[in-house]
Amino acid sequence: MYVTGANGVGKTSLLRMVCGLASIESGDILWNKLPIHQQREAYRQDLCYLGHLNALQESMTVRENLIFNAALGGMAPDTSQTRDVLARFGLHGRSQQLVRHLSQGQKRRVALSRLALSPARLWVLDEPYVAMDDAGILMLSDLIAGHLSRGGLAVLTSHQRVPVGTIPAQMLELKTP
C-alpha cells in the first residue's frame, strides 16, 4: 500500500502508529485479527520498519552494520549471505568501508539491504526511494515485488509513484483536515 500526501500531513506519524511506535487516539491496529499491543513480540517478529533516516552506525563498517541490524532481528547471516546481499544492493567491495565515508545513496542502500535478510511478513518503509538513483529504485522495486509475490505485505510512503511488480498497489492519500 502506498501512503501519499503532502509534506507534514501525517504519513510518517501513521507509519509509526502501524509499527506501535506512536500511540493512537482511538481504535486499534490489528494484526492477525488481534490488536498489536496485545501481541507485541509476535508482531515485532513479523515487522521490518525502515524509517526515513537510515539508522546506521557511522563508525562501523558496512558489513558490521548489516550484521548488527540482522542480529537485532534475531538473525545471524553468514559471510556468503552478507556478501550476496551487499552485491545485490550495489555495494560489492564496500563491506569493510566505514559507513561515514559513503555517499547518501550508498548509505540508503546499506539501510535497505536489511530487507533482503529480513524474514518479516510486513515491511513498513518511510520514503524508501529517497537518495536512490534509477538503478537503486529499480532494484528496490524488484525486491518489494518479490516480497509481495511470496505473500508478504508492504506499506510505504513515497512522493514518487514507482510501480512495484504486477500486483496493483492500493493507495491511501492523506489530506489535511
CATH code at 48?
A: 3.40.50.300
Q: Could you give the number of structural domains in the chain?
A: 1
Span of 18-27, 72-81, 97-106 with lowest mean pLDDT: 72-81
Q: Which residue spans within the chain are E strands per DSSP?
A: 2-4, 30-31, 34-35, 47-50, 122-126, 153-157, 171-173
Note the pLDDT of residue 34: 95
pTM here? 0.90
Span of 42-46, 122-126, 137-141, 158-162 with lowest mean pLDDT: 158-162
Q: Which helix (H) or strand (E) holds 82?
A: helix 79-88
Domain extent at residue 153: 2-173
> Region 42-68: what's the mean pLDDT?
93
Res. 115: pLDDT tops 90: yes
